Amino acid sequence: MASIPANILSVSGLTRQIKDTLENSFRGVAVSGEISNYKKHTSGHLYFTLKDQDAQISAVMFRGNTMKMFFSLQDGMEVVCRGDVTVYEPRGNYQILVKEIHPRGEGALQLAFERLKKKLFEEGLFDESQKKPLPPFPERIAIVTSPTGAAIRDMISVMRRRFPSVEIVLLPVQVQGSGAAEQIAEAVDACNAFRAFDLIIVGRGGGSIEDLWAFNEEIVARAIHRSGIPVVSAVGHEIDFTICDFVADVRAATPSVAAELIAPDAQSLLESLRNISYTCIGSVNNRIQQLLRSLSSLSGHHAFLRCEEILARHTQNLDELYAAADRTIDLRFERINSELTFYQRQLHAFNPKTLLDRGYAIPRKDGKILRSVHEVHSGDRMHVFLRDGSIESQVHHIQPNHEQEKK
C-alpha cells in the first residue's frame, strides 16, 4: 500500500489554493482570440469562448461592463479582452471575467461587417424584389436619429424648404455606443406599431467606423427588414456604406440627401398646378367658343353680337393671364402662390355660368342642356336655369329657326 502523504487536501482546499494562485497571477491580463459560442443572456451578461488554434478559455462579461461597448459580439470575431482570470469553485472551472473588449485591429470590424452582410444577403434581406417604393407625397414622416446631432437639423431645414407641409416626427435615439442599435431597432418597431407614417428615415451624420457601427448591427437590419413602412437609410457620408443601407428600401448618401429625396419640391408642384389651371382655362374657353360657334348659326339673332363681345373679353383676359404667367416663372414661391390664388379668382370669373349673370338662361330637360329645339316636344316639362334659380316650365310651341327665316 502506497504511503499516504501527511498533508491531504480536501477538494475545496485544493480548489481554494488553485483559485488564489490563478486569480493572483492573472489579474488585469489582456488576451486576444476569436469568439465562439457567443450567448447573450436575458440578464444582459455575455457568455462566450475565446479561442485560437490550439486552446480555448471560457469568458463572461457582466452587464455592468458592457456599457462602454459600441458593438455587439458575433462568433468568429477577432477581439482583444482585458480582464481577470477567476475560478468558479462549485464546478472547478476557470474563466476570464472580461472587463473590456475591443475588436482586434481595424480589420476585425470590417470582417464582421462582411460576414453579416453575406449572411443577410443569403437570407434575402437585400432582395430588390422586397424593396418598397417611396410615397410620392409623404404627409407624415418619422425620423429615427439623435435629437442633438447635425443630421436632424439638416433634414428639418431641407424638408421645411422643399415641402413645408410635411409633418416631421422625431424618434430620439442614441446613435452610437452601447445600446444604440437596440434603441434604433425599437424605434423602427415603434413606428410600425403606431402605423400612421408614410415613411421612416433612419440615420445619423458622419463619423468613424466605430461611431457608425450601430447601423451595422443585425438587430437594426432585422427591424428595418420587417418594417411595413418604407425605410430610407441615411447614415454618414457618401463613402460610408452600412448594413442598414443595404436592407433599407432606399439608401441616401447623407441625411440631407434623404430629405431631398423624400420631400417633393413644392415650388415645382405649384408650377404644375399652374399649368393644370391653364389647361382647364383653355379647355373651358374652347367649350365657350364651340358654344358661341353654335350660337352663331343663329345669325342675326341679337344675342350673337353680345356673345362675341364676351368672347373677345375672355380671350383678352386669357392673353393677359398667360403673359402674367411668363413673368412669374422666376419669381419666388410666395409670389407664385399669391398669383395662383389670383388666377383662381379669374378662373371663377371665366366660369361660363357667369353668362347667366348676363341674362342668358340655360334650358335643361332631364338634367341635360338643350342645344336644339328638336330635343323637346310640345307638352314636355323642362327647367330653365337663371342666375338665381330655375323655372319649371312646359313647352307650348316649338319654332325652329329656318321657319323663322322663311317668314
Where along the sequence are the contacts to another protein (CB under 8 A)? Answer: 135-140, 142, 147, 152, 156, 160, 163-172, 190-191, 193-198, 229, 266, 269-270, 273, 276-277, 279-280, 283-284, 286-287, 291, 333, 337, 340-341, 344, 347-348, 351-353, 367-369
**Given the complex with another protein, which of 267 and 401 has the nearer CB atom?**
267
Q: How many CA atoms lie within 13 A of 128 on its CB side?
A: 0
Q: Do residues 188 and 144 make contact, with C-beta atoms less than 8 angstroms apart?
A: yes
Distance CA 119, CA 111 (A): 12
Longest dimension (CA), the chain: 155
**Nearest distance in Å: CB 225, another protein:** 19
Q: With respect to another protein, which residue has the nearer C-beta, 117 or 162?
A: 162
Q: Which helix (H) or strand (E) holds 321?
A: helix 302-328
Phi, psi torsion values for 232, nearest 5 degrees: -105, 130
Nearer to another protein, 209 or 347 (CB): 347
Q: Which amino acid is at 161?
A: R
Give dist(CA 198, CA 192) in Å, integer: 10
Compute the least distance from the CB of residue 401 to another protein, in Å: 20
With CA atoms as reference, report the closest residue to 149 among 206, 188, 190.
Answer: 206
Q: Which helix (H) or strand (E) holds 266?
A: helix 266-296
Q: Which is nearer to another protein, 272 or 393 (CB)?
A: 272
Cell numbers at 219, concatenated: 438587430
Beta carbon of residue 140, minimum distance to another protein (angstroms, whole number): 4
Cβ atoms of 31 and 80 closer than 8 Å: yes
Cβ-based nearer residue to another protein, 148 or 315:
148
Q: Which residues contact 34 (CB under 8 A, 6 or more apart)?
A: 50, 51, 52, 76, 77, 78, 79
Residue with cell 452600412: 242
Minimal distance, residue 139 CB to another protein, in Å = 5
Report, in Å, the least distance between residue 296 CB and another protein: 16
To another protein, the closest distance from the beta carbon of 390 in angstroms equals 14
CA 19 vs CA 25, 30, 50, 340: distances in Å: 10, 19, 20, 85
Least distance from another protein to the Cβ atom of residue 134, Å: 12
User: Nearest approach, Cβ of 193 to another protein (angstroms)?
Assistant: 6
Q: How far is CA 242 from CA 81, 109, 110, 217, in A?
A: 26, 12, 11, 9
Give 186-206 as a DSSP string.
HHHHHHHHH---SEEEEEE--
Nearer to another protein, 296 or 344 (CB): 344
CB of 403: closest distance to another protein in angstroms?
26
* Cβ nearer to another protein, comparing 5 with 367: 367
CA 196 to chain centre: 12
Q: Which is nearer to another protein, 96 or 321 (CB)?
A: 321
Report in angstroms the alpha-carbon separations of 153 from 54, 227, 254, 341. Answer: 53, 25, 13, 32
Closest CB to another protein among residues 69, 170: 170
CA distance 360 to 298: 15
| Identity of the residue, 128 or 334, whose beta carbon is nearer to another protein in the bound complex | 334
CB of 239 to another protein, least distance (A): 29
- Shortest Å distance, C-beta 255 to another protein: 15
Residue 332, C-alpha cell as written in the block: 419666388
31 or 295: whose CB is closer to another protein?
A: 295
Of 278, 257, 392, 264, the closest CA to residue 325 belongs to: 278
